[in-house]
Every structure is written in structure tokens, then in C-alpha cells.
Structure 1
Amino acid sequence: MERKYKYVTLFACLLAAVVVTLGAYTRLNNAGLGCPDWPGCYGFLTVPDEHHEISAALQAFPDSEIEHGKAWLEMIHRYFAGTLGLVILSIALLALRRQTEKPLPLKLALSILVLVVFQALLGMWTVTMNLQPFIVMGHLLGGFSILTLLTLLYLRLNNQFVFTEEPKIRRQSRILFIALGALIVQIALGGWLAANYAAPHCVGLPLCQNIELFSLESLFHLPVGAANYEYGVLPFETRLSIHFIHRVWAMVTLVFLGFAACRVVVAAQSDLFKNAGRIVLFLLITQVSVGAAIVHWQFPLHLTLFHNFMAAMLLIATVRLCYLARCKA
């Protein structure tokens, strides 16, 4: 039973990674409003394609234009997200059933379930509030949080793989958690950048063209009061400033996380910790390089999608390293 539970949790981790990637792909293709309602699409469980279905959809939503490609992207994302929700529900129910014998991490499983329910609400509000940036960023962070907590649950179920406790590594845990905090801030900044369609407003390396327009004050110009937020509503200088802050904090994250991972690799005695630190370093260097390449090649879609995916992989690799540094053999 416990082994099956681990397999279900691992499947949920992989499915969450797919859902996060599909969400990024949907956002990058400007398909977030591909279906103007929720949870269906123009009142149907699939994208309407028959003549009578299209007629009914246009009558129900006269201000919308059916774009089948975007609508299917949105619905496929919802199908996968819904499947993930059901898998997480099964994880929570199995944890509840096992409390009388060899208990499973119930609090963590229930926390993930609550987060999934809130994430579904954010998904609904994303559509009904026409891509309001605060909601879009929250939805993105919710997806990353679910993936992270599922990874943490899987790690807790596999404590037996930590064969040794190294005091030198435990002493690095504080700087590791500071670096993790810096990474979380960077991911949030990336979500805010994406939610406000700010990527193309800062071209050139290492500084933006028109960098003289950068203003800390403009960062407090919030996107509120619009009827529709698709393609962004903030002025050019605000979006340029958002993007530039994301770049600056990327360097801060590079320094903190790179330093912390290097200290683990140098101090570690076992291959377990050395390899965990090396994985973080590899993903970190790759992520920074991909970010620079995206700007250099003018924001190609698939490279930008890979940048989103790598952010998720870097986050769970860092969480794993922090967990290993803190847990006891």
C-alpha cells in the first residue's frame, strides 16, 4: 500500500509539472481567454465545432469570437488540471484512511488539497476577471506551489534514501533557505512580468534599450480598473521597469543560490549531497543562459516556454537540496 502511495504521489508530481508547462504554453499563446466561461467552453465540455454548437455559443457569448486553436489550448490545460485535482484528492483520501496504521503525511496532503481548490478558484477568476494580472500571477504561483508541495510530500515518503546526516551540510541550511527565498521572489517577479506582458518592453543586453525610462516609482503603477487586461494595460515605462527589476533580481538569485549550492558541493562528503548541489548549479546556470538567449533572439515562444519549465525544475531541485540539508537520517 505504501509503495503504491509513493507511485501515485510521483505520478502527481509529474502531472503537476505537465500542468505548469501547459499553463505557461497557454499564456504564451495568448489563449487564456480562449474560452470566455469556466469550467466549460462556451457552455460545452469541449470546444464547440458543430454548426449548431457554434450557433448556440455565439448566441450565449455575442461579444466573443471562437478561435478553435486557443480554445483547445485552454481546455486541454483544464483537462490536465482537473485530472491533477482528482489525483490529489485520492492522495488526501488515502492519507486519511491510513491514520490508524503507519500514518502518512496527512497535514501536508490536506494542505495540497486545499491549495488545489483555491487554485481552481484562481483559474475561474482568471477568466471571469479577464486576465487581471494579480489573479494571473497568483494562478501561476499556485501551480508552482502545488508542484513544490507534491515534491516535498514525495521526499517525505522516501526518507529512507537519506543514508547519512552531515553536520557540515546542516550548517549550510540557513544560507540555503535564504537562497530559496531569493528564488521564490524571482519566480514571483517573472509571474508579474508575464501577467503584464512586459517581456518585449526591455530588449538589449545587459541593459534595456531606453533604460533611461526606468523608474522605481513607475513600479507602483498598478493594473486596476480595466475591463480587459489581455496584452497588458500598463504604460511602456512601467513594463520596462518590471522587466528590468526581474533581470536585476536574477543576478541576486544567481549569486545567493550559486554561492549556497557551491558551499554544499565543497562541504559534502557523500555523493547524495554533492549531486544535489551540482544539479542546482547546473539548472541555475542553464536558466540564466536561457534567459539571456530569450532576449538576444527576441523572445521566441518555445525558448520562453523552456525558461518557464526550467524555473519549475530549479525550484524543486532547490527545495530538495534544502530538505536534504534539514532532514535527519
Structure 2
Amino acid sequence: MAITALLVAALPLSIVWISRDTNKYRKLVWISVFLTFDLIVFGAFTRLTDSGLGCPDWPGCYGEANPFIAHEQIRAAESLLPTGPVTMVKAWIEMIHRYLAMGIGVLIVAMMGVAWWRWAGRRGSGAPFAPAARGVAAPGFSTFLFFFVCLQGAFGAWTVTQKLQPIFVTGHLVLGMSLLALLAWFGGRLDQLHAPLPRAAGSESARLGRIRLLAALSGLVLLVQLALGAWVSSNYATLACMEFPQCGGAWVPEMDFEHGFHLWRDLGKTAAGHYLPFSALTAIHWVHRNFAAVVLLVLGLTAWQAWRVGGLASHARWLAALLALQALSGVATIYFNFPLAIAVVHNAGAAALVLVLTMINYRAKYLAAPAYQ
């Protein structure tokens, strides 16, 4: 498995190595952002194709490094339950997801190693640790990323070993989105060291103060919605409401919040071990759907305010476009009876919102600051 992870990471590391970019460390961070985004989208595909238990152990597949070697065990499980969670296709989907995750882990280890190497070299030479050097090579943030990705990996393992228990699936998705935000924040910091934007002045400074508050609130609101969306997906509650804007023929349908939002329970079961009632799934779906209105309002207001500020305008336009895409793909998922492609697009849109909103938060903080941050 370790060799596979190194092989997966070899291509992006080679791209960074042969690049003519004068700041290869910055390029490494942004390639990691790109691959983490891809990992989240492919993770959504893995979950939506019911491939999360395609290999029911961890980190390998029936104790082997890949499904080719575990062919006999997979075929035996598939013959017993042809429509079950273990098939050759699902095994490969799950293992590709794991390989990509491990490759990103290697890239983050490389980030941390380079940062510590540069830091040790400067200390050994007696050179001052200048602000620019801190931004490029300070080991603190990359070391934090290393421990964070280890936590994310642990949740990935628990997702499998605990048989898709909703709390672990939800935690795994939220941590994945958080890792994407952390990497994007780091990339934004390196961007400003590479090509700094002009600081705000005059009336624009006052406006940036409001934008920073709105952007921070938007981040919190989006985090809540991501957790709610993950809870919908992990409980397979997407089709609990088959119409829009009503649900079950009513604006406020029959709902069981107690069982629906009890965190520590098995998939499809109540805490007492009984089958989860449909009204609990309805509650899960209904809350996510209606909280989307809060997301549209708060993030839309942030986009409107940021639209008129230099350094934020392009990101504000992206934010507005992504909000429209999310609303459309969410409604289309219901109207078209949960087609796989639209559901994956909806998850990709959520990850893109995380990226754009992170950059708005960082840039607003940077532009409003009087000195290096």
C-alpha cells in the first residue's frame, strides 16, 4: 500500500520538479488543492454508487494491496449477494479512492519535509527567518496539515470498519472539505507572498471590514450545510422528499427529529436497534433543504458586497455562479429522481463553494491588514 501511495504521488511530484515555476513549493500546494478537490468528488462518486464497502476491510482489500490479488474473495462475496456492497467494480472504485487519498497524504508529507528542511537550513546558516521565508517554508502550518490528514485518514478507516455508520461518514466528508479549505488558505498565503495584491485604502477598508464579517459568517453557515448534506447522504435520505418545494404533499410533513438526528447509531437503525422510520429520513432531508435558503441568503449577500472590491470581484462572481449551480442541481436531483451525474455535480459544487469562499476569506483578511499577516 505504501508503494502504491508513492507511485500515485510520483506524477504530481514530478510535475512540480520539472516545472519552470520559480516557486515550486507554492505549485506543490496548489496541485495538492486540485487533487484534494478531485478526491472529494470521487469520494462522492464512491458513496453514491454504494461502493464504500466495496472492500470491507482497511487499508487493503481482503488483506491484499489491490482487487486483482483479492479477486477470489471478491467474486465469492459477489456470488453470495450479486447486488450487495461487494463487487469487483465497487472494489476498484473504493480502492482507487483510497489510493488517491494516500497519494495526497504523501504530498502533504513532502510539504512538511521541505518546510522543515528549509527551516533547519536557515537556522544552521544563521540566516534571519524573514517574513517571506516564514510564509514559504515555516513548518508549523504544514505540520498541522500532516496531523489533520492523519485524522481524516482515521475517519476513512472508521467509515469502513464501522460499516458506514453515519457519524463517521459525515465526519469523513466534513474533514475532507476542511482539508480542502486549509490547503486553499495555505495556497492563498503563498500567492500573496509571490505576487502581493495592493492593500485597501479609504472607503474600501471600511467595506472590507463588513465583508470579513460576512465571509466568516458564510464559512460557518456553509460548514453547517455541509454537515447537514453529509448527514442526508450518509443516511440515504436524498429521496425522502420527492417533490419541491413541498415535501410529501405538505410544507411541514410528518417528521421524526429525535431518531433522525440521533448521532450515535448504526446505518438505517435507531439507537435502540430498530429500523429507522421514514419520518426520520424526511426530517433529515427537510432540514437540509430548508437550511439551503439560509446559505443562499448569507453567501449571496457576501458575493454582492465583495463584487465591488478589487481583489475580490472575480471570486465574488464565482461564488454567485456556484450558488446558482447548487440550487439548480439540488432541485434537479429531486425532480430527476436522484441521477448519479447530477448528484456528483451537487457534491462538486459544494467543494467548489468551499474553495471560493476560503479564498474570499483569506483575501479579505489580507487586503484589510495594514502589514504582513
- TM-score (normalizing by structure 1): 0.90
Measure the CA separation in 1 of the matches of 2:289 and 2:267: 27
1:5-35 per-residue CA deviation (whole Å, 9 max, x = no partner) reads: 0111111011101111111100000000000
1:269-316 per-residue CA deviation (whole Å, 9 max, x = no partner) reads: x2x222221111111111111111111111110100010001000111
* 3-state secondary structure, aligned to 1:199: coil
Measure the CA separation in 2 of the matches of 1:2 and 1:32: 41
Alignment of structure 1 residues 64-143 onto 2, 5 Å: 66-99=86-119, 100=122, 102-103=133-134, 104-143=137-176
Contact in 1 for aligned 2:74/2:87 (Cα 8 Å): no
Q: How far off is 1:317 after superposition?
A: 0.3
Q: How far off is 1:95 after superposition?
A: 1.1
1:243-269 per-residue CA deviation (whole Å, 9 max, x = no partner) reads: 010011100110011012112224x2x
Measure the CA separation in 1 of the matches of 2:316 and 2:261: 37
Which residue is equivalent to 1:153?
186
Contact in 2 for aligned 1:16/1:84 (Cα 8 Å): yes
Which residue of 146, 159, 162 maps to 2:197?
A: 162
Contact in 2 for aligned 1:264/1:277 (Cα 8 Å): yes
Measure the CA separation in 1 of the matches of 2:68 and 2:354: 38
**Cα distance change of structure 1 residues 228 and 27 upon mapping to structure 2, 3 Å threshold:** farther
Contact in 2 for aligned 1:19/1:81 (Cα 8 Å): yes
- Whether 1:241 and 2:270 are equivalent positions in the alignment is no
Which residue is equivalent to 1:262?
304
Which residue is equivalent to 2:18?
none
Which residue is equivalent to 2:46?
26
Q: Which residue identity does 1:213 align to in structure 2?
A: E
- Whether 1:144 and 2:185 are equivalent positions in the alignment is no
Q: How far off is 1:210 after superposition?
A: 5.1
Which residue is equivalent to 1:213?
254
68-77 or 174-183, larger mean C-alpha shift: 174-183
1:144-200 per-residue CA deviation (whole Å, 9 max, x = no partner) reads: 111111111110111134223240223321122112211111111001111111101
Which residue is equivalent to 1:321?
360
Which residue of 322, 332, 338 maps to 1:299?
A: 338
**Cα distance change of structure 1 residues 233 and 97 upon mapping to structure 2, 3 Å threshold:** farther
Contact in 1 for aligned 2:242/2:337 (Cα 8 Å): yes
Which residue is equivalent to 2:14?
none
Which residue is equivalent to 2:230?
191
**Cα distance change of structure 1 residues 280 and 121 upon mapping to structure 2, 3 Å threshold:** same
Which residue of 177, 195, 210 maps to 2:216?
A: 177
Q: How far off is 1:222 after superposition?
A: 4.4
Q: Which residue identity does 1:164 align to in structure 2?
A: R
Contact in 1 for aligned 2:268/2:276 (Cα 8 Å): no
Which residue of 32, 50, 72 maps to 1:54?
A: 72
**Which segments of 5 or more consecutive residues in structure 1 lack a partner in the other structure?**
none
Contact in 1 for aligned 2:215/2:302 (Cα 8 Å): yes
Q: Which residue identity does 1:247 align to in structure 2?
A: R
Which residue is equivalent to 1:224?
265
State the identity as a percent.
32
* 3-state secondary structure, aligned to 1:37: coil
Measure the CA separation in 2 of the matches of 1:182 and 1:205: 22
Contact in 1 for aligned 2:269/2:276 (Cα 8 Å): no
* 3-state secondary structure, aligned to 1:131: coil
1:186-241 per-residue CA deviation (whole Å, 9 max, x = no partner) reads: 11100111111110111101021154212444444445156999xx9532111111
Contact in 1 for aligned 2:112/2:143 (Cα 8 Å): yes
Measure the CA separation in 2 of the matches of 1:213 and 1:258: 31
**Cα distance change of structure 1 residues 304 and 96 upon mapping to structure 2, 3 Å threshold:** same
1:52-73 per-residue CA deviation (whole Å, 9 max, x = no partner) reads: x5169859xx999851000000
Question: Aligned-residue CA RMSD in angstroms?
Answer: 2.5
**Cα distance change of structure 1 residues 134 and 226 upon mapping to structure 2, 3 Å threshold:** closer
**Cα distance change of structure 1 residues 233 and 323 upon mapping to structure 2, 3 Å threshold:** farther
Contact in 2 for aligned 1:42/1:48 (Cα 8 Å): no
Aligned residue pairs total: 320
Measure the CA separation in 2 of the matches of 1:10 and 1:45: 29
